[in-house]
Structure 1
Amino acid sequence: MSKFYLKGFANDSGYIRRVSLPGRPVIPLSIGDASVIKDFYTVTLPDGTQSDFFEKEFSKIESLAAEALANILAGAWPIVGKHRAALATWVALQHLRSEDVRANQGSFSAEMIRLIVGVSGKEALRSLIQKSEARVISDEELDWEWRDITKPGGPDLVPTADRHVRLLMNLLPGTSAYLHDCHWTLFRFARRSIATSDHPVSLVVAPDHPDWQGVGIATAELFLVPLSRRTALTIQPRRRFSSPSIDASSVPDFVKEGTTSIARSINQETAARARKYIYHHPEEAPLDGLYMPSPETRTKFAASNASELIREEGLFHGLTEKQLRGLEAATPPGESSRGMTIDDLPWPLPGRRFKARE
């Protein structure tokens, strides 16, 4: 969490109130203490040393964004040029750097491993382990490995900074450009108070959004970002304005006076998207009457329903050579018929959390 950002929710002494989901405990905290997550982006280099290079790079982004935010809070709107680019990059960074994105990346990897192993079958897993470890494993050990890897959700993987930073750096330029070109609306509140959280960028979807589809950068109808205790920003894809009579690219950014109902809606979305903590001004109560989720009931990465594909004998066991060739011929032109197989999996599985064998 950026220290310059939390300052907009603090009192003159630099303190905010931190609310732990689902509402307790509530403690006063300095913005310096609230902004610290130690070594979250420390990565391991090929020689085994630790580097905080990305922490320093992200601080440069924050420095530019701080200037843009200061201009907005001083009354400037709309913002253009380097200030718009800086704030768009910072918003993209706040979303991509979140613990949710890191956790979901680990969950996605675990699901992929589960599917690859489950489709390949038990004997293929035995071959992978024995080849990698240069030893013969017992049936009991194979049974345990099979159960642990193919259980719902897949193997337990510890999300790593290295993988997270790699994903972040791949997605940051495109996400920043996408947000930069969206339509922005600024809400200013004269009396109502706005809260923020440890996940300050909320991706909001339409009421009729299918539950199975998930919510991501491309599917969100609205990006919601509290900017201070009296200011909030919404970023909307310009497709919302498309019509035969409107050139969406010509619609200017709006500024609107915030109302009680808008403030309540913003605070509820912020609370619902928080991971562990909500932050607000210590002399105000913007969370009164809102639903406060517990961390355990928040929306998590949706596990795939791949159980029917997981078979000890392997998904393609019993097929003839002719049938296998038929499957290969059915592959769409230009696509690889091989894809990723169990032979491509590294062993031991990187980041796997050790669990005692039953």
Structure 2
Amino acid sequence: MTLRHALGGGEVVGKRVRRQHTVSKFYLKGFANDSGYIRRVSLPGQPSIPLSIGDASVIKDFYTVTLPDGTQSDLFEKEFSKIESLAAEALAGILADTWPIVGKHRAALATWVALQHLRSEDVRANHGNFSAEMIRLIVGVSGKEALRSLIQKAEARIVSDEELDWEWRDITKLGGPDLVPTANQHVRLLMNLLPGTSAYLHDCHWTLFRFARRSIATSDHPVSLVVAPDHPDWQGVGIATAELFLVPLSRRTVLTIQPRRRLSSSSIDASLVPDFIKEGTTSIARSINQGIAARARKYIYHHPDESPLDGLYMPLPETRARLAASNASELIREEGLFYGMTDKQLRGLGTVTPPGESDRGMTIDDLPWPFPGRRSRNRD
């Protein structure tokens, strides 16, 4: 299933608002009581309220895509439910003491873990931040007159100096223009990355921790990407750089997924190392719960009759502030980075090139105007 296919069909929902879950309901059952209730803790610790798993992690129209004719479709929510159904079967086997899991069950759970990570608010926000940074760089190196040309061509009108000054300041400010990634953009990214991410996780080394008495929490971002202690602060954390993927599966079970390259040595063939199962301890449970709290975005979920967060540090709600493109600032010039450059210097350019030089890389002429997802531009 691709976004192109989806945009050609699917159930049309018009203007009807749909309540869509960013965390699977079948998954949250593992942290709920017999009545289907969990406790939702808002960072940094209050309020703490019991609520139904059907009301947890709900965001209106989070996966509703806009079709070419302007109508809306919830097709992807239905596609996700198919993945969830297979993963629920695999999870039920694990919770019934089946380990290791192989074949279709391993593939189903790997796909769900990948989906659960990729469909998160974090991934959507980070994609928007990256797009904003790229727009800032491309416009900044092209210069104000190139920006004027882009707007005038798209809107078929004359752009005044005052308007151009405002647009330039807003687009080239630290972090770039304020973008709100759309469901279409997020789903396109998700569908592009899902097959490769699923296969990558499938081939990793899996370890299952079981806890007899200690309770485990989860969050609105239940797949935590953990890095090594020596991971550089300036380097982002992603699928390729994560040392470990931490996934609570229930209030008594935690899955860790580790790239096999981390196990390799001169005396060990990592491909032959079997999946492990370990008994969890109090210290391990505490460490896991602290990590879950640290990587939550807004909410932590746990069994309503237990207190796995007692004594832990509760961070502020995560705003995921965009990365500062400090290295790009020196490339941004009103006259354009390429002003006064010789042909020889231009031939040595990389991916961002002067307007009209599309054969060398991406230029401002390749940007759509207005920028998709840009917040309302109030020039007052």
Give the TM-score normalised by structure 2.
Answer: 0.90
Counterpart of 1:191 in structure 2 is 213
Equivalent pair of 1:104/1:300 in contact (CA under 8 Å): no
Counterpart of 2:146 in structure 1 is 124
Deviation of 1:45 (Å):
1.1
Alignment of 1:102-113 (within 5 A): 102-113=124-135
Counterpart of 2:301 in structure 1 is 279
Please give the per-residue CA displacement for 1:72-100, whole angstroms capped at 9, x wherever unaligned: 11111100011100000000000000000
Please give the per-residue CA displacement for 1:327-358, whole angstroms capped at 9, x wherever unaligned: 58xx9xxxx86211111111111111013103
Counterpart of 2:112 in structure 1 is 90
**Considering only aligned residues, what root-mean-square deviation do their CA atoms show, in Å?**
1.5
Q: Please give the secondary structure, in 1, of the residue aligned with 2:58.
A: coil
Please give the per-residue CA displacement for 1:283-311, whole angstroms capped at 9, x wherever unaligned: 11111111111125x55442322111111
Give the distance between the partners of 2:349 and 2:243, measured in 1 at CA: 39
Residue type at the aligned position of 2:41: V
Please give the per-residue CA displacement for 1:103-140, whole angstroms capped at 9, x wherever unaligned: 11111101000000000001111111111111111111
Distance 1:131 1:83, change over 3 A: same
Residue 303 of structure 2 is aligned to residue 303 of structure 1: no
Q: Gaps spanning 5+ residues in structure 2: where?
A: 1-22
Give the distance between the partners of 1:87 and 1:214, measured in 2 at CA: 26
Choose which of 198, 202, 212 in structure 1 pairs with 2:224: 202
Q: Please give the secondary structure, in 1, of the residue aligned with 2:306.
A: coil
Distance 1:355 1:92, change over 3 A: same
Counterpart of 1:352 in structure 2 is 374
Give the distance between the partners of 1:323 and 1:214, measured in 2 at CA: 31
Give the distance between the partners of 1:153 and 1:327, measured in 2 at CA: 23
Alignment of 1:53-92 (within 5 A): 53-92=75-114
Q: Please give the secondary structure, in 2, of the residue aligned with 1:227.
A: strand
Name the structure where helix makes up a greater proportion of residues.
1
Q: Please give the secondary structure, in 2, of the residue aligned with 1:34.
A: coil
Higher mean displacement: 39-48 or 64-73: 39-48
Give the distance between the partners of 2:332 and 2:195, measured in 1 at CA: 37
Q: Please give the secondary structure, in 2, of the residue aligned with 1:119.
A: helix
Residue 284 of structure 2 is aligned to residue 262 of structure 1: yes
How many residues get paired? 351
Give the distance between the partners of 2:268 and 2:93, measured in 1 at CA: 30
Distance 1:323 1:4, change over 3 A: closer
Residue type at the aligned position of 2:221: H
Q: Gaps spanning 5+ residues in structure 1: where?
A: none
Give the distance between the partners of 1:219 and 1:91, measured in 2 at CA: 17
Alignment of 1:12-91 (within 5 A): 12-91=34-113
Residue type at the aligned position of 1:179: L
Alignment of 1:220-231 (within 5 A): 220-231=242-253
Deviation of 1:40 (Å):
1.1
Counterpart of 1:340 in structure 2 is 362
Give the distance between the partners of 1:38 and 1:172, measured in 2 at CA: 23
Residue type at the aligned position of 1:187: F
Distance 1:300 1:219, change over 3 A: farther
Equivalent pair of 2:226/2:246 in contact (CA under 8 Å): yes
Give the distance between the partners of 2:349 and 2:197, measured in 1 at CA: 37
Please give the per-residue CA displacement for 1:155-207, whole angstroms capped at 9, x wherever unaligned: 11111100000000000000000000000000000111000000000000000
Equivalent pair of 1:5/1:66 in contact (CA under 8 Å): yes
Deviation of 1:102 (Å):
0.3
Q: Please give the secondary structure, in 1, of the residue aligned with 2:177.
A: coil
Give the TM-score normalised by structure 1.
Answer: 0.95
Give the distance between the partners of 1:122 and 1:327, measured in 2 at CA: 20
Residue 182 of structure 2 is aligned to residue 160 of structure 1: yes
Residue 279 of structure 2 is aligned to residue 250 of structure 1: no
